[in-house]
Amino acid sequence: MTLPLNPAMAATFPPPVMEARRWIEGVTFPPDRPLINVSQAAPVDPPPLALREALAEAALNDPQAHRYGAVLGLPALREEIAGQWSQAYGGRIEPSQVAITQGCNQAFCAIMATIAGPGDEVILPTPWYFNHKMWLDMQGVAAVPLPTGPMLIPDAERAAALVTPRTRAIVLVTPNNPGGVEYPAATVAAFRDLCRERGLALIVDETYRDFDSRSGAPHELFADPEWSEVLVHLYSFSKAYRLTGHRVGAIVAAAPRLAEVEKFLDTVAICPSQLGQIGALWGMRNLAQWVAGERAEILARRTAVTGGFSALQGWQLLGCGAYFAYVEHPFATPSDALAKRLVHEAGVLMLPGTMFQPEGSEEGRRQLRIAFANIDTAGIAELFARLAALAR
């Protein structure tokens, strides 16, 4: 007898990063050509020593670190986020408008559970972040693709033509995953105005904001006194402080919306990781200079990637920033097959554009995502040497 399976779950594609890892199972890479893994945007190094020491101190001496906490998160962390981000964005955010989650993916799932249900629609610019698409598929919510063209910048007027009575939200990720591009402030504001006019939620995921190349606030959404009527902001502590294993994310939204989010979080996880929140709070209070150094290093790697593609014949760099380069390859082989070939022929693991585009997309067959943040400039140079050899 076979147990029942939710049809929506069965129709959802497998996790792309896990699928890609299976491509290297049983493959031996020679010492002189080790695997270059640019498939996942996750820091491979542990948090800085001082942060690890703060986590150890809490684990040893803070009994509260091992107990249930508030469903919406550690009050001190919510206050710190409200204070620092009010200053950074030139607006006013109250602690009651902040919730802490088990990573930014859970933040997206939690907020979307309050916005859209089966039969509803949510507009996602393409190429899209695959976990956003997966969650919508699981919930029976239609993901409406919004093509972004060769510059990978979404257009609000083009989005307006996709809005129907079933549309509930538009999602923007900036700096973008997978495209790497940083959305101009005017673009983000235009989407805010569209969502306000049509009664939609604007969800802005800024997981990679700490590595934005621009100085100052990347947009003025929070400077709008009525921002909470339309905006939901998502963030992750995983990248800035290397807390990937501790799963700490955040939602900034209207307090009544977070009361609905609390129902989801209490049902799914009861509360965020106490140790992870302690680490995030310590990082916010003590690691600004260290994060600035991390940002400078990522920007240097971005420069190396941009220069590498300018000299690589046949390849086209579509977008580059934060952790990602998104490229168009010159081969006749579709990207999903090419990505598997690269493992064996070049010792490189990257994700095909088919994982970030609607099924059957011609663009996806020509595109690849490179998560370059986890390899240094020497590794980036080796990556381009292998891609050039493959082309020859």
Nearest-CA neighbor of 6 among 176, 111, 139, 181? 139
Nearest-CA neighbor of 110 among 271, 279, 274? 271
Q: Cis bond leading into 175, ω under 30°?
A: yes
CA separation for the pair 283, 64 (Å, rounded): 19
Nearest-CA neighbor of 371 among 388, 360, 355? 355
**Which pLDDT score, from 0 to 100, does residue 44 have?**
83
Q: Which residues contact 280 (CB under 8 A, 6 or more apart)?
A: 77, 100, 237, 241, 243, 246, 248
- If DSSP codes are grouped into helix, strand and coil, which group holds residue 332? coil
Average pLDDT for 25-50? 92
Contact 348, 387 (CB under 8 A): yes
**Which pLDDT score, from 0 to 100, does residue 46 have?**
93
Give phi and psi for 109, each to the nearest 5: -60, -45
Average pLDDT for 130-137? 97
Contact 271, 185 (CB under 8 A): no
Res 351 pLDDT > 90: yes
Res 205 pLDDT > 70: yes
Average pLDDT for 93-114? 98
Average pLDDT for 265-281? 96
Res 391 pLDDT > 80: no
**Which pLDDT score, from 0 to 100, does residue 390 have?**
84
Averaged confidence pLDDT in the chain = 95
Domain 7-46+290-391 CATH superfamily: Aspartate Aminotransferase, domain 1 (3.90.1150.10)
CA separation for the pair 176, 18 (Å, rounded): 21
**Which pLDDT score, from 0 to 100, does residue 307 have?**
95
The CATH topology of domain 49-287 is Aspartate Aminotransferase; domain 2 (3.40.640)
Q: How many CB atoms lie within 10 A of CB 362?
A: 10
Give phi and psi for 374, each to the nearest 5: -95, 5
Res 392 pLDDT > 80: no
Query: Around 17, how many Cα atoms within 13 Å sit in the side-chain half-sphere?
Result: 13
Place of tokens 């989801």: 264
**Which pLDDT score, from 0 to 100, does residue 382 have?**
96
- If DSSP codes are grouped into helix, strand and coil, which group holds residue 328? strand
**Which pLDDT score, from 0 to 100, does residue 309 have?**
94
Average pLDDT for 269-285? 96
For the chain, give the number of residues.
392
CATH 3.90.1150.10 placement within the chain: 7-46+290-391
Average pLDDT for 126-151? 96
Q: What is the percentage of the chain residues whose pLDDT exceeds 70? A: 99
pLDDT band at 1 (very low <50, low <70, confident <90, very high): low
CATH 3.40.640.10 placement within the chain: 49-287
